[in-house]
Amino acid sequence: MALDPLQPFSSQLPVRVRFGDGVAGELPAVLESLGAGRPIAFVDAAVARLPAVTAALPAGTTLRVVAAGEPTIASVDAAGEDVAGHDAVVAIGGGSVLDTAKGARLVATAGGSIRRFAWPGEPEPVPPPGIPLVTLPTTAGTGSEVTGGVVMVDPERELKCGAASPHNRAQDCLVDPRLTHSLPPAPSLYGGLDVLAQAIGAIVAATRTPVADALALESLRLVRDALPAVVADGADAGARSRMACASLLAGFAMNLSEAGTDHSLGHALGVRHGIPHGLSVALVLAESMEHDRLAVPGCFERIADALGAPADGSADGTRAVRAVRALLAAVGCPTLSAQGVTGADVEPLAEVAQRAWIPVEPGPWTPEDIAGAYRRALAIEHRAAPEEERHAGAA
């Protein structure tokens, strides 16, 4: 039987990565190798108190504490003004801190507001960076430590927007799993759910590539065991290390592909209801998968295998959906209705999702499909336990 040829693709992953316990201590040497003598470090308030962080910052570093919450266009523009006079940017924190730092460097390089580089709309091309960026993630979640995206809230348009370009990527990334050990249970869970969603999205997006597949599938294999272990015991060093690696791999996979439709749906939940990213995409993940599997069932079969779903004779991707529902139940993911969202919110949510839709879905989504995904998520009153899911799938 003749096989279909692979579609053309391009691949570039230029971020230098050091991974392992203790690599945060290499930050001074990395900055020296970049010729940086006047760095500015963006951190959140909790990270600023970590001894491992303060010890790693070289003398003379300007410390800029980023306010809690997701960055906005205004907050990124303000951060860009702080970069003036420095010759390197360091970002130590979760996705919001990393995105703030990436955006601040862009603003410092290009001048003006980051709004002109942001989608949706007709963004200007992002220029090459003027100074280097070094990232140190303290969560296993967004993968922002290696991606070229800067995701922000635009309150004026009531949507999430972003500036995306390879020029936004860091020059160096130090992934020290020890920096995630003190992360509280809720952000540990939400970050892990984001990794799960991003890996799945990279595999099924219309922009998928074989290289992204390989990275994302390995990310899923790590997540399936490590996320439940982290939720059960945040001090489990092995699980923390695996989740940090899974986040890194999913971030690289997104660089080569994209996020999934769950992100388009989840972003609207974040904007309108203030639901943290990670949780917001997980609340609609299985529902988006139910729709997308119809377009690319083979992709979902690979996802099912990576998540360890047993073979059942089907080939339509339903195994992957059941496996994800079981994993969401196992880690205690809340339901959409528990977040205060009601049926009256569906149409406004669908409208916001459509205005900031990430156009890489594997098959068409109509406005009715989008609203239907929210309604199906709202209909879930509790997450079925894994054993219940298995019996339901066999029925």
What's the one-letter identity of residue 271?
Answer: V
Q: Answer whether residue 254 shows pLDDT above 90.
A: yes
Separation CA 126–CA 341 (nearest Å): 37
Q: Answer whether residue 381 shows pLDDT above 80.
A: yes
pLDDT in tens, 69-122: 899 999 999 999 999 999 999 999 999 999 999 999 999 999 999 999 998 889
Q: What is the pLDDT of residue 386?
A: 46
Q: What is the pLDDT of residue 383?
A: 84
Q: What is the pLDDT of residue 382?
A: 86
What's the one-letter identity of residue 2?
Answer: A
Q: To the nearest whole percent, how much of the chain has pLDDT over 90?
A: 83
pLDDT in tens, 308-332: 999 999 999 999 999 999 999 999 9
Q: Answer whether residue 249 shows pLDDT above 70.
A: yes
pLDDT in tens, 112-143: 999 999 988 899 999 999 999 999 999 999 99
C-alpha closest to that of 44 among 91, 78, 83, 82: 91
Calculate Rg over the CA atoms of the chain: 20
Q: Answer whether residue 8 shows pLDDT above 90.
A: no
3-state secondary structure of 19: strand
Separation CA 217–CA 74 (nearest Å): 37
Separation CA 78–CA 89 (nearest Å): 15
Q: Answer whether residue 388 shows pLDDT above 80.
A: no
Question: For residue 203, what are the contacts with CB-CB under 8 A and spacing of at least 6?
Answer: 212, 213, 216, 217, 253, 257, 299, 302, 303
Q: Which residue has the higher pLDDT, 12 or 91?
A: 91
Q: What is the pLDDT of residue 385?
A: 57
pTM score above 0.85: yes
Which DSSP letter does residue 363 get?
Answer: S
Separation CA 368–CA 346 (nearest Å): 11
Separation CA 309–CA 16 (nearest Å): 34
CA distances from 180 to 47, 55, 192, 234 (A): 10, 16, 12, 9
Query: Given phi > 0 = left and psi -120 to 50 = alpha, else beta, which region is 302?
Result: alpha
pLDDT in tens, 261-309: 999 999 999 999 999 999 999 999 999 999 999 999 999 999 999 999 9
3-state secondary structure of 41: strand
Residue listed under structure tokens 């309150």: 155
3-state secondary structure of 146: coil
Strands 149-154 and 133-137: unpaired
Quote the tokens at residue 322.
């059941």
Question: For residue 288, what are the contacts with CB-CB under 8 A and spacing of at least 6?
Answer: 260, 261, 262, 265, 373
Strands 159-164 and 149-154: antiparallel
Q: Answer whether residue 14 shows pLDDT above 90.
A: no
Quote the tokens at residue 173.
């990334």
Q: To the nearest whole percent, how much of the chain has pLDDT over 70?
A: 97
- By CB atoms closer than 10 A (0-12, 13-18, 19+), residue 211 is middle
Q: What is the DSSP string of 49-88?
A: T-HHHHHHSPTTPEEEEEPSS--BHHHHHHHHHHHTT-SE
